[in-house]
């Protein structure tokens, strides 16, 4: 049973528009959430995180929203750039721990 779900395997967005990547989780004990970005043949790189005491965290073009009651988080990228094209993983942990459970990823393609 997948504890972290990313129901869209892929997403295409026009350059300059907003990209919205969604993530749902089932374990109510998760209290720390992260987004990672992964290019082919490279390891994931940390993008942005949010703890369960917040509902929004912003870093430049990237904003993560957390809706605890819906067990849902989303990553907004605006404006989207071609260099943002990658696979985005949502990850979650319990007690702010390091044992992350990853979602299956969403492949974002930003079209010029």
Task: Tell me how far apart the alpha carbons of residues 45 and 29 are, in angstroms, rounded to a whole number.
Answer: 24
Chain residues 72-91 in contact with other proteins, contact rule CB under 8 A: 89, 91
Chain residues 30-49 in contact with other proteins, contact rule CB under 8 A: 36, 41-46
Structure tokens at 108: 């974002």
> Which member of 1, 60, 69, 99 binds other proteins (CB under 8 A)?
99
Q: What angle do CA 41, 9, 63 make, to 5 degrees?
A: 85
In the complex, minimum distance from the CB of residue 16 to other proteins, in angstroms, rounded to a whole number: 28
CB 82 within 8 Å of CB 18: no
Binding flag, residue 67, other proteins (CB under 8 A): no
> Strand pairing of 19-25 and 4-5?
antiparallel
> Which member of 24, 47, 105, 106 binds other proteins (CB under 8 A)?
105
Q: Which residues bind other proteins (CB under 8 A)?
A: 2, 4, 9, 36, 41-46, 89, 91, 96-105
């Amino acid at each position: 049973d997948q504890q972290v779900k990313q129901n869209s395997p892929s997403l295409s967005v026009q350059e300059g528009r907003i990209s919205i990547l969604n993530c749902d989780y089932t374990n109510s004990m998760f209290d720390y959430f992260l987004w990672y970005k992964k290019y082919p043949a490279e390891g994931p790189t940390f993008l942005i995180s949010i703890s369960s005491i917040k509902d929004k965290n912003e870093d430049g073009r990237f904003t993560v929203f957390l809706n605890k009651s819906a067990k849902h988080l989303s990553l907004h990228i605006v404006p989207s750039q071609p260099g943002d094209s990658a696979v985005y993983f949502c990850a979650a942990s319990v007690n702010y721990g390091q044992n992350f459970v990853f979602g299956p990823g969403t492949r974002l393609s930003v079209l010029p």
